Amino acid sequence: MRIRRKKNIDSRTQALFNEIIKVDTSIKNVTEANKNKAYIDVEKIFQREGALYIEIGCGKGGFIKKLSQIHPENNYIAIEMIQNVIIMAGEAVRNANISNVKFLNIGAEYLPRYIKDESVSGIYLNFSPPFPQKSYECRRLTNADFVERYLTVLKNGGFIEQKTDDRDFFEYSFEMFKKCGLKVENLTENLANDSENIITEYESKFLQQGLPIYKLRAIKE
Ligand code: SAH
């Protein structure tokens, strides 16, 4: 049973050859990997120029699918470490004939290995796991190491936009962005009233539970 399921995942991944960018993931040590550059040729992959935006932890892809349709002039790379999940996102984008979104099946910690320094206009972080225990801080996608990686790939003036339902994680991230020299603006404590907001899969569950959604934008100056 397990083998059959895996086979299915592999064939679905192969069918997404146009959506999922093939990269060499053989170097597992993060520091080592990020020193050994294997930059993606973004213009070749999208077959055009365009501002590049990245989503980290795209899940099933609902957010990036909508955002890319609102902004057909931009190029988007959505990152997700779980293969079964990224397949669903890839299939959704392929079925909608969207050509300005590509996917990377990697852990976000490897971002600087594949994305050129100072080439990204904005990074979206939607409902990343908050990892409340202090001992798991190393996994939070807004800890100092992650923010430094984002700063490496961001252009000056580029942004990190974060949404979460977790107040402690939100405050932690806010402090971390400031500590790393970003300018934090557009703080929102309850997104429910924002008509331009693109609701993600996780967000819609939290909204149904009546939870407030927090959002901020941090700028690299
Ligand atoms: N953004 C989606 C999914 C949120 S769940 C939504 O709002 O509906 C968080 C997602 O982040 C999960 O799919 C998880 O696999 C992914 N994720 C967590 N840590 C990651 C990492 N280090 N690199 C890449 N993806 C990660």
Please write the tens of the pLDDT for every residue from 103-151: 999 999 999 999 999 999 999 999 999 999 999 999 999 999 999 999 9
Q: Which of 4, 20, 41 is nearest to 91 (CA)?
A: 20
Q: What angle do CA 148, 151, 155 make, to 5 degrees?
A: 170
Q: Report which protein residue has its CA nearest ligand 1's atom 11.
A: 57
Alpha-carbon distance 172 to 159, whole Å? 18
Distance from residue 15's CA to the centre of ligand 1 (Å): 23
Q: What value does the mean pLDDT take over residues 23-45?
A: 98
Q: Enter the tokens of residue 140.
A: 């939070």
Distance from residue 73's CA to the centre of ligand 1 (Å): 25
CB-based contacts of 64, cutoff 8 Å, min separation 6: 55, 58, 76, 78, 89, 93, 101, 124
Distance from residue 111's CA to the centre of ligand 1 (Å): 14
Q: Which atom of ligand 1 is nearest to the CA of 129?
A: 9
Q: Enter the tokens of residue 160.
A: 């990190």
Pocket of ligand 1 (CB under 6 A): 57-59, 79-82, 85, 107-109, 126-129, 141, 200-203
Q: What is the pLDDT of residue 191?
A: 75
Distance from residue 146's CA to the centre of ligand 1 (Å): 14
What is the pTM for the complete model shown? 0.96
Q: Which atom of ligand 1 is nearest to the CA of 85?
A: 13
Largest Cα–Cα separation, the chain: 52
Please write the tens of the pLDDT for every residue from 19-33: 999 999 999 999 999
Q: Which of 142, 130, 126 is nearest to 184 (CA)?
A: 142
